[in-house]
Amino acid sequence: MKEQGETHQLVLLPGDGIGPEVIKAAESVLSTAREYLGREGIELSWQAKPIGGAAIEAAGQPLPDETLAAAQAAKAVLLGAVGGPKWDRLAPHERPEAGLLGLRRALSVYANLRPAALLPGLEGQSPLKPSAVRGLDVLLVRELTGGVYFGQPRGRKGEAPNRSALDTMTYQEGEIRRVAHVAFRAARRRQRRVTSVDKRNVLETSRLWREVVEDVATEYPDVQLEHQLVDSMATLLVLKPQVFDVVLTENMFGDILSDELGGVVGSLGVMASASVGDGGPGLYEPVHGSAPDIAGKDMANPLGAILSLAMLAEHSLDLPLLSRAIEAAVHEVLRQGLRTRDIADGSQGEQVIGTREMGERVADALAQNFHTRQALNAAYF
């Protein structure tokens, strides 16, 4: 795997709602990984810090300095979710979400990778016809630190009934270029097709987006590039999602289309994401959000968080074998018929379990996987 004596320091940010539960479940998997990596001389350690609403309660702000400093000093960060009804009345810059946006920006993780595929046994979860989703395997690459979520100026003025509000969508050429490279490089490891999504018929930022993406494409003559307008793309993703390979788009379009992909797959709970920049710590988060209605009930699906951990192992720790082993462990529990409530469909052989137990069962499957590998190696050498 890797050289002996290496230490990987992680930061866990459980956050709000179901965040703490899914991160706890991911921690079961981390503990198993730590045990087996330790035998290879690779050390894994982690500490938890508050973010979002939890940090507003503990420290009066959604991204405390101490949390940010720990994240910046870590190899990678695994985040649960932020937000909830309790903080809904706060102004945008005071809300839990501002903590997450601030963290993404401070870590410069400008490329957000959101894979969407049907996991074994979950094919029937998609509300679409089987013929429409067979073979579905999309990697959405969302620009994460620019666009209208960060553009200045922004704000409100005036009194009712004459209030007005302003957001600014802005992109620098370099911001487009660097995320486009991430998409084209990813396409080279996949089917070598990139679909770039914009709204060029209306927006200036989209015209620039398309020009820069086309320019970057000339460096990847082996990758096929096509463009779609975002409204049309919204339709295509439900009509024939399986024709797409890598989908590249700006921040807000990517936010919306990635939730749509969650709907297409039918189980937002299993969707993972990785946010990466140029070196520095990566940020890994399940796509599902804080789901306050089921928080604290041991009902949440931790597989999105666990699969985000698999992405962390691959992209930030350079441990692809660990990443594959975690994915295989998730597939194994699904094959055994284990389901959290959100992905249960009442079919024969399924067993509905809680968040904590799901984490433990994946950890057990991972231990079994390592054990088998070691036994095989021993027999082999």
C-beta of 82 vs 179, nearer to ligand IPM = 82
Tell me how far apart the alpha carbons of residues 27 and 110 are, in angstroms, rounded to a whole number. Answer: 26
Q: Closest separation between CB of residue 284 and ligand IPM, Å?
A: 12
- Binder of residue 334, out of ligand IPM, Mg ion, none (CB less than 5 to 8 A by kind): none
Per CB under 6 A, does 101 bind ligand IPM? yes
255 is catalytic: yes
Q: Which amino acid is at 350?
A: E
- Binder of residue 100, out of ligand IPM, Mg ion, none (CB less than 5 to 8 A by kind): ligand IPM
Tell me how far apart the alpha carbons of residues 111 and 175 are, in angstroms, rounded to a whole number. Answer: 10
Nearest one of 258, 327, 237, 262 to 126, comparing CA atoms: 262
Tell me how far apart the alpha carbons of residues 180 and 142 are, in angstroms, rounded to a whole number. Answer: 10
Q: What is the dihedral of CA 233, 239, 240, 245, to 10 degrees?
A: 30
C-beta of 28 vs 249, nearer to ligand IPM = 249
- At residue 308, what are phi and psi to the nearest 5 degrees? -70, -35
Strands 155-157 and 164-166: antiparallel
C-beta of 259 vs 318, nearer to Mg ion = 259
The residue of the chain with the least Cβ separation from ligand IPM equals 97
Instruction: Please pick, from the candidates 21, 143, 255, 357, the single residue that binds ligand IPM as defined by CB under 6 A.
Output: 255
Q: Indicate the DSSP class of residue 296.
A: T
Residue 73: partners with Cβ closer than 8 Å, 6 or more residues away: 9
Instruction: Please pick, from the candidates 100, 179, 248, 319, the single residue that binds ligand IPM as defined by CB under 6 A.
Output: 100
Per CB under 6 A, does 21 bind ligand IPM? no
C-beta of 225 vs 265, nearer to ligand IPM = 265
259 is catalytic: yes
Q: Which amino acid is at 319?
A: L
Q: Which residue do the tokens 């999504």 mark?
A: 197
198 is catalytic: no
Strands 282-284 and 42-48: unpaired
C-beta of 261 vs 365, nearer to Mg ion = 261
Instruction: Please pick, from the candidates 16, 97, 250, 327, the single residue that binds ligand IPM as defined by CB under 6 A.
Output: 97
Q: Closest separation between CB of residue 246 and ligand IPM, Å?
A: 18
**Binding piece for ligand IPM, criterion CB under 6 A, among 17-25, 96-104, 163-171, 368-376:** 96-104
Q: Closest separation between CB of residue 245 and ligand IPM, Å?
A: 21
380 is catalytic: no
Q: Indicate the DSSP class of residue 62.
A: S
How far CA 25 is from CA of 93, 303, 356, in Å, comes to 30, 9, 5
Instruction: Please pick, from the candidates 255, 327, 342, 357, the single residue that binds Mg ion as defined by CB under 5 A.
Output: 255
Q: Closest separation between CB of residue 312 and ligand IPM, Å?
A: 16
Per CB under 5 A, does 314 bind Mg ion? no
Q: Closest separation between CB of residue 268 and ligand IPM, Å?
A: 10
Tell me the CA end-to-end span of the chain in Å, nearest whole number: 16
**Binding piece for Mg ion, criterion CB under 5 A, among 108-116, 179-187, 250-258, 294-302:** 250-258
Tell me how far apart the alpha carbons of residues 311 and 322 are, in angstroms, rounded to a whole number. Answer: 10
- Binder of residue 101, out of ligand IPM, Mg ion, none (CB less than 5 to 8 A by kind): ligand IPM
Q: What residues from 50 to 89 belong to the interface with ligand IPM (CB under 6 A)?
A: 82-83
**Binding piece for Mg ion, criterion CB under 5 A, among 35-43, 93-101, 226-234, 251-259:** 251-259
Q: Closest separation between CB of residue 256 and Mg ion, Å?
A: 8
Contact between 282 and 276 under an 8 Å Cβ cutoff? The reply is: yes
Contact between 195 and 210 under an 8 Å Cβ cutoff? The reply is: no
Residue 241: partners with Cβ closer than 8 Å, 6 or more residues away: 116, 128, 132, 133, 136, 138, 261, 264
Sign of CA pseudo-dihedral 347, 273, 356, 55: negative
Residue 378 CB neighbour total at 10 angstroms: 8
Q: Closest separation between CB of residue 264 and ligand IPM, Å?
A: 16
Using CB under 5 A, list all residues that contact Mg ion: 255
Active site residues: 149, 199, 231, 255, 259
Using CB under 6 A, list all residues that contact ligand IPM: 82-83, 97, 100-101, 255
